Structure 1
Amino acid sequence: MSGCPFGGGEHDAGAAGSAAQAPSAAAAHAPAPASAAVAAATPTQEAPASRLSRRGLLSLAGAGGAGALAGLAAGLLSHDTLAAVAAPAQAQAGTGDVVPFHGATQAGITTAAQDRLHMAAFDVITEDRSALIQLLKDWTAAAEAMTRGREAGTTGAVDGPYDAPPEDTGEALGLSAGKLTVTFGFGAGLFEKDGKARFGLAGRRPEALINLPHFPGDDLQPNRSGGDIIVQACADDPQVAVHAIRNLARIGFGTVRVRWSQLGFGRTSSTSRQQTPRNLFGFKDGTNNLKAEDTSLLQEHVWAGAGSRPEEAWMQGGSYLVARRIRMHIEIWDRTSLREQEQLIGRTKSEGAPLSGGKEFTAPDFAIQGKDGEPLMGMDSHVRLAHADQNNGVRMLRRGYNYTDGSDGLGHLDAGLFFIAFVKDPRTHYVPMQLAMSKQDTLALEYLKHTGSALAAVPPGIQPGGFVGEGLFT
């Protein structure tokens, strides 16, 4: 279903052939030109040394016996030897499954889309600015550790006091980093509540961080919408992604509470040179999505500028995250003919080619007519309405996932698409397109229902020694 089904479309007709190979994990969130100044202005600090745990000490003794312990006591063992023992076993397997946490932009945006998602929204339940800042520092440290395949906290899951709760929940012990990325964003509620500024952030809310309008056909549920802080954890292992959100929630107890969360599987877009996946309607999804290799297009459509006011400069090099929970009427779709399915989408189900002809990555031709004189790609087809040519050239970077949350108690699957997109400015890069589609797209009108919605300002990347959102508070 091409660039952006159910709310953001065929917005990059030329992206598919823009690069010869995928970027490395380190290059997946390389600095964009506009964010270079942010990175340069942020002080750096050497990463803390690995701790030598009781388990590591015992393993050292097992490896070298009393002589090794004597060497440890005398300070004769090499730094490399100590580091190898101190590092968790899963981190010693190599760095191929580790996505760098630090950078000019946050990981989890242009990073090659992983297979699993756990996203959560938190409400901040304190009005203490210092407590919020400390939480963000603690979350930053925990996220950085977990993305390297390490445990959260200084004593982890089993090395702390026996009669105290562990600092890590432990379900990821023995698992690799799984290409985990943890991406943070701030909702409008962090800046003001009941018309009053919060945490000394008066005037710091970006103008682009709007309250999304109620689109026609929306059936939004309060317990699936909004949130002061949005956290996206993506990984190739579902347990790794769940572990990340669970530990952040544990660390935040008393300062934040979970407002909603969503599990996702089977990515519905590709953000690099990946095979095009399929959504739960069975159609290829994300054919013409923006790619990490399209640096100039990312600068134009994804990375935020400094804003129109000095108070917004902290967002330069960041982006805006749009999240929409879109339930599919699976049972109705499954009783729809293949002909009608393809006409609604505007692409073939097998190849993913536009109905105007060609193959998957062939640009659609909206002018071609059929024997009846009508366009081969219907005026209400999803591809036509979502295409960049129909939306003032606007494009976005999507990172959506399929979801299945059981049944609704009436024998219907509660399943669909958890739509995620990163845009430069939601006022121009999302709202107009969604308004048009919600009124004209037959697919959206008859087969989809939006039940959750959130928008967050995603700050630029984090430097060693810094914390997420540091520019906002300093």
Structure 2
Amino acid sequence: MSERISRRKLFGLGAAGVAAAGAGVVALRAGEGGQGPTAARVASATDAVPFYGEHQAGIVTPAQDRLHFVAFDVITDKKAELDELMQEWTAAAARMTQGREAGTFGAVGGLPEAPPDDTGEALGLPASGLTLTVGFGASLFDDRFGLAARRPAAMAPLPKFPGDALLPEISGGDICVQACAHDPQVAVHAVRNLARIGFGRVSVRWSQLGFGRTSSTSRAQATPRNLMGFKDGTNNLKLEDEALLAEQLWVAPGDGQDWMTGGSYLVTRKIRMMVETWDRAPLDEQQQIFGRDKGEGAPLGRKAEFDPVDFNARDAAGQPFIKADAHVRLAHPSSNGNAHLLRRGYNYVDGSDGLGRLDAGLFFMAYQRDPHRQFVPIQLSLARHDALNEYIKHVSSGLFACPGGVRDAGDYWGRTLLT
């Protein structure tokens, strides 16, 4: 083991304990603890989110404004090195989420002749609500690390959906990290430092920057808008929905692999929007496609955003206000066996495609207890019938098993899987 690794391992885990104490103070002052359904809310854009808890932060945590998502491929074939990496990552994450530098010696406190323990671009910045959430892709459960028998049944491949135009180079991955924060520099700093720590053991497969959250995960948040101009995620699962979260979000004992208890399954989809074509569509057509009013966000035939959707309501001509191919009808739990998702999507703009068209859309992320009982039937219905399909294209896909939270400074991401 190199001196660099041993030094980080020696001091990093101890520093994580200090971060844990700080996180505990935050939670206790809020009168709550951990990352459960009633986890302490982020009071402002500068606050730190507790790192330790029953569930990973960044799932029911009130959605922050910025995202840096990355998928890694593991390039070592030694399980001990993978296990050690997860310990080092956890120690760094515990520090960074509390507004501290990634390593014990920081950006400027180490030996001048050695690389710094932190890249330094977040020096002087607050925690900014940073959360780091880790998941494991199906490809990690091959024969490299002896994990095949520990692959959850829920990690069976997603089917090919009608209309998919997936690019393999921006899909899948062995490990994902979701960094959410109110400051984009804080999120980018976190991912950059995890990639730096992982050098020689992981490589970046693909990554995605996002802005302007497209869903709310708390009733304290206003509903945001997507790049088509519509409010998005009105009926999303919220952290206040404790009974629904237990039923629809968190993996329960007996669901399958014990190491996933308290965790959740993440589906990612990069959905490109043909915004130039959409922008030429009449307002009435846009509203019919979504099944909602563009201004208030109310279901067609109703007045307010949160009015219950009435699929039986008809206009003066006797026609349904909400058509059979409207997005809201096809995605609604009542149309999908009461399947719910907790969405944490973000808008993205990745420049242009070289033909003068914006490469823009939605980076969709959804957490659930079982993707094959929740996401798959919903997406099959949408892919087959949604009028919105004329204006969108799915170009990447990912499925990741996100285990339960890190309990304390002696725990680390993936411990119950790798040991």
User: TM (normalized to structure 2)?
Assistant: 0.89
User: Aligned letter for 2:352?
Assistant: S
- Partner letter of residue 245 of structure 1? V
* Equivalences for residues 22-41 of structure 1 within 5 A: 27=32, 30-31=35-36
- Of 109, 120, 130, which aligns to 1:180? 130
Distance in 2 separating the partners of 1:418 and 1:317 = 25
Residues 20-99 of structure 1 correspond to what in structure 2 (within 5 A)? 27=32, 30-31=35-36, 97-99=47-49
Assess if the C-alpha contact under 8 Å between 1:330 and 1:415 holds in 2: yes
What TM-score do the two structures reach when normalised by structure 1?
0.79
Quick check: 1:25–1:111 contact (8 Å CA) kept in 2? no
Quote the residue 2:286 is aligned against. 341
Aligned residue for 1:473? 418
1:102 aligns with 2:102: no
User: Does the aligned pair in 2 maintain the 1:29–1:111 contact within 8 Å?
Assistant: no
C-alpha separation between the residues in 2 aligned to 1:415 and 1:391? 28
**Structure 2 alignment gaps of length 5 or more:** 1-28, 39-43
| 1:216 is aligned to 2:162 | yes
Distance 2:268 2:30 in 1: 24
Residue 273 of structure 2 corresponds to residue 328 of structure 1? yes
Q: 2:387 aligns with which of 442, 447, 452?
A: 442
Change in Cα spacing, 1:205 to 1:25, as seen in structure 2 (3 Å) is farther
The SS at the match of 1:428 is coil
Query: 2: CA distance between counterparts of 1:114 and 1:290?
Result: 16
**Residues 206-355 of structure 1: pairs in structure 2 closer than 5 A:** 206-272=152-218, 273-307=220-254, 309=256, 312-355=257-300
What is the alpha-carbon distance in structure 2 between the residues aligned to residue 436 and residue 397 of structure 1? 18
Offset at residue 288 of structure 1 (A): 1.1
Q: Which residue of structure 2 aligns with residue 429 of structure 1?
A: 374
1:267, distance to aligned residue in structure 2 (A): 0.3
Task: Report if the CA contact (8 A) 2:34-2:52 is conserved.
Answer: no
Aligned length: 385
- CA–CA distance in structure 2, aligned partners of residues 25 and 121 of structure 1: 33
- 1:271-292 deviations in Å (ceiling 9; x for gaps): 0120110000001111111110
Aligned pair in 2 of structure 1 residues 32, 337: CA closer, same or farther (>3 Å)?
closer
CA distance in 2, matches of 1:432, 1:463: 34
Give the secondary-structure state (helix, strand or coil) at the position aligned to 1:244. helix
What whole-Å deviation, never above 9, does each CA across 1:10-51 have from its counterpart, x for those lacking one? xxxxxxxxxxxxxx9885963369xxxxxxxxxxxxxxxxxx
Structure with larger Rg: 1
Kept in 2: contact 1:117–1:241 (CA 8 A): yes
Match for 1:404 among 345, 349, 353? 349
Whether 2:149 is the aligned partner of 1:191: answer: no
Matched residues in 2 for 1:98 and 1:347: separation? 36
How big is the shift at 1:127? 1.0
Query: Matches of 2:379 and 2:339 in 1, distance apart?
Result: 12
Q: Give the corresponding residue for 2:9.
A: none
- Quick one: structure 1 residues 117 and 95, their matched pair in 2 at CA, closer, same or farther if it must change by over 3 Å? closer
The structure-2 alpha-carbon separation of the partners of 1:261 and 1:28, relative to structure 1 and needing over 3 Å to count, comes to: farther
CA distance in 1, matches of 2:45, 2:223: 26
Q: What does residue 375 of structure 1 align with?
A: 320
- What code does the residue aligned with 1:459 have? P
Kindly report the root-mean-square deviation, in angstroms, between the aligned alpha carbons of the 2 structures. Answer: 1.8
Q: Counterpart in 2 of 1:132?
A: 82
* Secondary structure of the structure 1 residue equivalent to 2:120: coil
Deviations 1:342-395 (A, max 9, x none): 000000011000102121000111111223332111110001111111011110
1:149-168 equivalences under 5 Å are: 149-168=99-118
**Higher deviation after alignment, 355-364 or 230-239:** 355-364
Instruction: Judge conservation of contact 1:264–1:402 (CA < 8 Å) in 2.
Output: yes
Q: 1:179-207: CA deviations, max 9, x gaps?
A: 00000000001111xxxx23121310000
Give the structure, 1 or 2, with the largest relative contact order (CA under 8 Å, sep 6 or more): 1
- Cross-structure match for 2:68: 118
What secondary structure does 2:379 align onto? helix
Contact 1:26 1:99 in 2 (8 A): no
Contact 2:211–2:348 at 8 Å: present in 1 too?
Answer: yes
The whole-number CA distance in structure 1 between the counterparts of 2:364 and 2:318 is 35
